[in-house]
Chains A and B, each alone.
Chain A
Amino acid sequence: MTVAEDLGGDAPAETGAVARIPSASARTAPELKMTARSCDVFYGDNHAIKNVDVDILDNTVTAFIGPSGCGKSTFLRCLNRMNDTIDICRVTGELTLDGEDIYDAKVDPVQLRARVGMVFQKPNPFPKSIYDNVAYGPRIHGLVRNKADLDDVVEQSLRRASLWGEVSDRLDQPGTGLSGGQQQRLCIARAIATAPEVLLMDEPCSALDPIATARVEELIHELRENYSIVIVTHSMQQAARVSQKTAFFHLGHLVEYDDTTKIFTNPHDKRTQDYITGRIG
Chain B
Amino acid sequence: MTLLTALAILIIAAAAFLLGRAKASALAGDNYAQLHSRPNYHGLYSLMWVLIAGLGALIVVSGLAGAVIDSTMTSRASALTGEALSQIQLDLMLNDARAIATGGIPSSVDPAREALAEYYTAAGFWRGVAVLIAGVGAALAALLRTRSQISMEWRARNRSERVIRAVLAVSATIAILTTVGIVLSLIGETLIFFNRIDWRLFDYFFGTTWSPLAGVFEGKLDPEKVGAIPLFAGTAMITVIAMLVAVPIGLMAAIYLSDFASPKVRAWTKPLLEVLAGIPTVVYGFFAAITVAPFIRDNGGVIVPILGLLAAVIVGFLALLLLERARPGFRQSLTRQAGGYGLVAYFAVFALGGLAVIWSANPGFTFDVASESALAAGVVMGIMIIPFISSLSDDVINAVPQSLRDGSYGLGATKAETIRQVILPAALPGIVSAVLLGVSRAVGETMIVVMAAGQGANLTWNPMETVTTVTVQIVALITGDTEADTAAAPAFALGFTLFFITLALNIYALRIVRKYRELYD
Chain B associates with chain A: yes
Q: Contact residues of A with B, CB < 8 Å? A: 13, 80, 82, 85, 87, 110-115, 117-118, 120, 122, 124-128, 136-137, 140-141, 174, 176-177, 187, 190-191, 194
Is the CB–CB distance between A128 and B409 below 8 Å?
no
Across-interface contacts of B412 in A (CB, < 8 A): 13, 110-115, 117, 137, 140-141, 194
Smallest CB-CB separation from A114: which chain B residue? B412
Question: In the complex, what distance in Å separates the CA atom of A191 from the CA atom of B519?
Answer: 23
Is the CB–CB distance between A128 and B520 below 8 Å?
yes
> Out of A82, A87, A177, which one reaches B409, CB within 8 Å?
A82
Across-interface contacts of B425 in A (CB, < 8 A): 126-128
Question: In the complex, what distance in Å separates the CA atom of A194 from the CA atom of B406?
Answer: 15
Of residues 500 to 521 in B, which have CB atoms within 8 Å of A's CB atoms? Answer: 519-521
Q: Is B414 an interface residue (CB 8 A)?
A: yes
Is the CB–CB distance between A126 and B408 below 8 Å?
yes
What is the number of contacts between chain A and chain B, taking CB atoms within 8 Å? Answer: 81
Q: Is B331 an interface residue (CB 8 A)?
A: no
Q: Is B99 an interface residue (CB 8 A)?
A: no
Is the CB–CB distance between A191 and B411 below 8 Å?
yes
Is the CB–CB distance between A113 and B409 below 8 Å?
yes
Across-interface contacts of B422 in A (CB, < 8 A): 126-128
Across-interface contacts of A136 in B (CB, < 8 A): 408, 411, 413, 421
Is the CB–CB distance between A124 and B411 below 8 Å?
no
- 6 cross-chain CB contacts under 8 A: A87-B263, A114-B411, A124-B406, A127-B425, A137-B412, A190-B407
Beyond the given A113-B411, A126-B422, A137-B413, could you list 20 further A-B residue pairs with CB under 8 A, ordered by the A residue number?
A13-B412, A110-B412, A110-B414, A114-B411, A114-B412, A115-B412, A117-B411, A122-B403, A124-B403, A126-B407, A126-B408, A127-B404, A136-B408, A136-B413, A136-B421, A140-B413, A141-B412, A174-B520, A174-B521, A177-B521
Is the CB–CB distance between A120 and B413 below 8 Å?
no
Q: Is B225 an interface residue (CB 8 A)?
A: no
> Out of B410, B417, B521, which one reaches A80, CB within 8 Å?
B410
Q: Is B196 an interface residue (CB 8 A)?
A: no
Question: In the complex, what distance in Å separates the CA atom of A194 from the CA atom of B520?
Answer: 23
Question: In the complex, what distance in Å separates the CA atom of A190 from the CA atom of B422?
Answer: 14
Q: Is B381 an interface residue (CB 8 A)?
A: no
Of residues 363 to 398 in B, which have CB atoms within 8 Å of A's CB atoms? Answer: none
Across-interface contacts of B406 in A (CB, < 8 A): 82, 85, 120, 124
The listed residue with most A CB atoms (<10 A of its CB), out of B263, B405, B406, is B406
Distance in angstroms from A248 CB to nearest chain B CB is 25
Across-interface contacts of A174 in B (CB, < 8 A): 519-521
Q: Is B480 an interface residue (CB 8 A)?
A: no
Across-interface contacts of A112 in B (CB, < 8 A): 412
Distance in angstroms from A250 CB to nearest chain B CB is 26
Question: In the complex, what distance in Å separates the CA atom of A69 from the CA atom of B317?
Answer: 52
Smallest CB-CB separation from A136: which chain B residue? B411
Question: In the complex, what distance in Å separates the CA atom of A177 from the CA atom of B405?
Answer: 19
> Out of A111, A120, A141, A177, which one reaches B407, CB within 8 Å?
A120
Across-interface contacts of A126 in B (CB, < 8 A): 404, 407-408, 421-422, 425-426
Across-interface contacts of A141 in B (CB, < 8 A): 412
> Out of B408, B411, B520, which one reaches A176, CB within 8 Å?
B520
Across-interface contacts of B219 in A (CB, < 8 A): none
Distance in angstroms from B442 CB to nearest chain A CB is 29
Smallest CB-CB separation from B413: which chain A residue? A140
Question: In the complex, what distance in Å separates the CA atom of A194 from the CA atom of B417?
Answer: 15
Distance in angstroms from B428 CB to nearest chain A CB is 9
Across-interface contacts of A115 in B (CB, < 8 A): 412
Is the CB–CB distance between A120 and B410 below 8 Å?
yes
Q: Is B82 an interface residue (CB 8 A)?
A: no
Across-interface contacts of B401 in A (CB, < 8 A): 124
Question: In the complex, what distance in Å separates the CA atom of A144 from the CA atom of B421?
Answer: 18
Distance in angstroms from B307 CB to nearest chain A CB is 36
Across-interface contacts of B263 in A (CB, < 8 A): 87
Distance in angstroms from B267 CB to nearest chain A CB is 13
Distance in angstroms from A12 CB to nearest chain B CB is 11
Across-interface contacts of A111 in B (CB, < 8 A): 412
Question: In the complex, what distance in Å separates the CA atom of A270 from the CA atom of B406?
Answer: 36
Question: In the complex, what distance in Å separates the CA atom of A126 from the CA atom of B427?
Answer: 12
Distance in angstroms from B470 CB to nearest chain A CB is 38
Smallest CB-CB separation from A127: which chain B residue? B520
Smallest CB-CB separation from A175: which chain B residue? B520
Distance in angstroms from B396 CB to nearest chain A CB is 13
Is the CB–CB distance between A191 and B408 below 8 Å?
no
Question: In the complex, what distance in Å separates the CA atom of A87 from the CA atom of B426?
Answer: 23
Smallest CB-CB separation from B517: which chain A residue? A127
Across-interface contacts of A122 in B (CB, < 8 A): 403
Question: In the complex, what distance in Å separates the CA atom of A51 from the CA atom of B422?
Answer: 36
Distance in angstroms from A185 CB to nearest chain B CB is 14
Across-interface contacts of B410 in A (CB, < 8 A): 80, 82, 113, 117-118, 120, 191
Distance in angstroms from B262 CB to nearest chain A CB is 8
Question: In the complex, what distance in Å separates the CA atom of A126 from the CA atom of B403?
Answer: 9
Distance in angstroms from A85 CB to nearest chain B CB is 6
Question: In the complex, what distance in Å separates the CA atom of A110 from the CA atom of B408?
Answer: 10
Distance in angstroms from A198 CB to nearest chain B CB is 12
Across-interface contacts of B519 in A (CB, < 8 A): 174
Distance in angstroms from B311 CB to nearest chain A CB is 33
Across-interface contacts of A127 in B (CB, < 8 A): 404, 422, 425-426, 520-521
Distance in angstroms from A3 CB to nearest chain B CB is 14
Smallest CB-CB separation from A172: which chain B residue? B519
The listed residue with most A CB atoms (<10 A of its CB), out of B263, B410, B413, B414, is B410
Is the CB–CB distance between A176 and B521 below 8 Å?
yes
Distance in angstroms from B512 CB to nearest chain A CB is 16
Question: In the complex, what distance in Å separates the CA atom of A122 from the CA atom of B264?
Answer: 30
Q: Which 9 A-B pairs have the closest CB atoms?
A: A114-B412, A118-B410, A127-B520, A124-B403, A113-B412, A124-B407, A137-B411, A127-B426, A174-B520
Distance in angstroms from A53 CB to nearest chain B CB is 25
Question: In the complex, what distance in Å separates the CA atom of A85 from the CA atom of B407?
Answer: 12
Distance in angstroms from B90 CB to nearest chain A CB is 69
> Out of B262, B405, B417, B426, which one reaches A85, CB within 8 Å?
B405
Question: In the complex, what distance in Å separates the CA atom of A177 from the CA atom of B517?
Answer: 12
Across-interface contacts of A140 in B (CB, < 8 A): 411-413, 417, 421
Across-interface contacts of B414 in A (CB, < 8 A): 110
Question: In the complex, what distance in Å separates the CA atom of A194 from the CA atom of B408?
Answer: 11
Question: In the complex, what distance in Å separates the CA atom of A240 from the CA atom of B227?
Answer: 82
Smallest CB-CB separation from B401: which chain A residue? A124
Across-interface contacts of B405 in A (CB, < 8 A): 85
Smallest CB-CB separation from B426: which chain A residue? A127
Smallest CB-CB separation from B520: which chain A residue? A127
Is the CB–CB distance between B404 and A124 below 8 Å?
yes
Distance in angstroms from A81 CB to nearest chain B CB is 9
